[in-house]
Amino acid sequence: MKSLNPTRKISNLLVAAAIVLSLCILSLIKARYCSSPYANPQEALEQAKPKYASERDGGDQRNTSASQEITVVKNANNSICSETSKRSNVCEAEGDIRIRGSSQTIFLPHSLTDQEWKTKPYCRKHDPPAMENVTLWIIKPFSGKAPPPPCTVKSAVPALVFSVGGYTDNLFHSFTDVIVPLFISSYQFHGEVQFILSDVQQWWMDLFVLIFKQLSKYEIINASSDEEQSTVRCFPRVIVGLRFHKELGVNASKTPTGFSMAEFKAVLRRTYGLERATVAEPPPGEKPRLLIISRNETRVFLNEKEMTDMAAGLGFEVRTAEANRSTNLGVFARLVNSADVMMGVHGAGLTNMVFLPAGAVVIQVVPITGLDWLARDTFGKPSAGMELKYLEYQISEEESSLSELYPKDHPVLRDPSSITKQGWKVISKTYLDNQDVRPDLGRLRNTLLEALSLLPNGGKEKEAAN
């Protein structure tokens, strides 16, 4: 056999070396970019979370695909806006602040910022449907070609700018998206702060105005009421957006002076004249009080009368009530505050737990949904911060009206997860809008006995009930 030409040998060696080098490069690329379906491990975790639209009746949205972020219009060095949580952005500046509410524009000196910012000041920035109902605010430097807009109204206190749009037609969202974050953001000022609101609905303001007056000594400014372009309000400091910590809760370690939900509940007691800070043993001759939160449209207690009679037989003084938009919130808050135990089906009505005295018991009746985490996150976890004791009653197939609408082997009953994968509209229509409950009186009796045992002198009450 003849040996290969030396030139051909070199050519073959170069081809082989090129192949090996190519393989090495491909391996490096795979290790860098293809070790998981996502370049960022955190992104993989986020993608693994369930994606549901927000429950308007007390819930949380998990769709983060179109988050409302702070928009920086042009690059600059001075940063006045930041993400304070996955739910909220806050912009803050101190100096010569000028606010034109009619155009939702805030003017700052160039010494504070040389860029333009855009933000929607509502604590659901991860929730596009909610943010559609929130007005955009623009923060911009004074024009270099013209003098700053002249002040028509001057104030010596900071301005706190935020929206009450979003989902605030719902009690749960009113508190978790606005009222609690407003407390977190303003309590440190001891009333020396001016609230400027956008997206105001008068019925909503009438409902919550007394809480606002506990947190600010000044008349509330509705930005949209400054219809004339000439109205410019000037402040020494501005905060745009509210700080969010957690659902219906305050993280004391993140507050300036360590205040918590205990102080928030104290504000509510002062607001509505609530007499009870803590549950106490009933005086001789009086019974512990059970408040059942009724519902008359969805997730209705189908055997509410029987439930009431059974609870009364255990030694409770039982009351039933349902609040709506026309209900006097102060009157309802005092009713809730008089209760030792409050029970209701998962929904916005359970938000009234904020008015319960410390040591009271909350019983959440959880319908079939496949979203037990939602019930825990919205009302179970927040109860501890309010110094409440929490119990859950899980509805079974036999106790749900869904068993009358679907055969036993239907996925709605047998495989709720297959329904939840179809998105929030299907979940809401199937499990929340078209389900009522009929708790088994025997099982419910045991839950109420457990609630009795958690109250002061509860052991004696439970023995008497048995």
Residue pLDDT, tens place only, 268-285: 999 999 999 999 998 888
Whole-Å CA distances, 409 to 233, 398, 414, 429, 433: 64, 13, 6, 19, 21
First to last CA, the chain: 105
**How far is residue 248's CA from residue 385's CA, in Å, rounded to a whole number?**
9
% of the chain with per-residue pLDDT over 70 = 82
pLDDT at 324: 83
pLDDT tens, residue by residue, 52-106:
334 444 543 333 333 345 664 444 456 799 998 999 999 999 999 999 999 999 9
Query: Do residues 350 and 364 touch, judged by C-beta distance below 8 A?
Result: yes
Q: What is the DSSP letter of 177?
A: I
**How many CB atoms sit inside 10 A of residue 259's CB?**
17
Using 50, 70 and 90 to split pLDDT, how confident is the model at 460?
A: low
pLDDT at 91: 96
pLDDT at 10: 59
Closest by Cα among 292, 276, 281 to 334: 276
Mean pLDDT of the chain: 86
pLDDT tens, residue by residue, 9-67:
556 666 566 665 665 555 444 433 333 322 333 333 233 333 333 444 454 333 333 33
Q: Quote the pTM value.
A: 0.83
pLDDT at 39: 30
Closest by Cα among 64, 42, 41 to 51: 64
201: pLDDT strictly greater than 50: yes
pLDDT at 24: 54
**How far is residue 186's CA from residue 93's CA, in Å, rounded to a whole number?**
15
Once rounded to an integer, what is the mean pLDDT over residues 156-166?
A: 97
Domains of the chain: 71-259 (no CATH), 276-465 (3.40.50)
Using 50, 70 and 90 to split pLDDT, how confident is the model at 323?
A: confident
Comparing 82-86, 388-392, 447-451, which segment has the lowest mean pLDDT?
Answer: 82-86
pLDDT at 54: 44
**How far is residue 223's CA from residue 126's CA, in Å, rounded to a whole number?**
24
pLDDT at 371: 82
Query: Do residues 52 and 417 touch, judged by C-beta distance below 8 A?
Result: no
Q: What is the DSSP letter of 5?
A: P
pLDDT at 108: 96
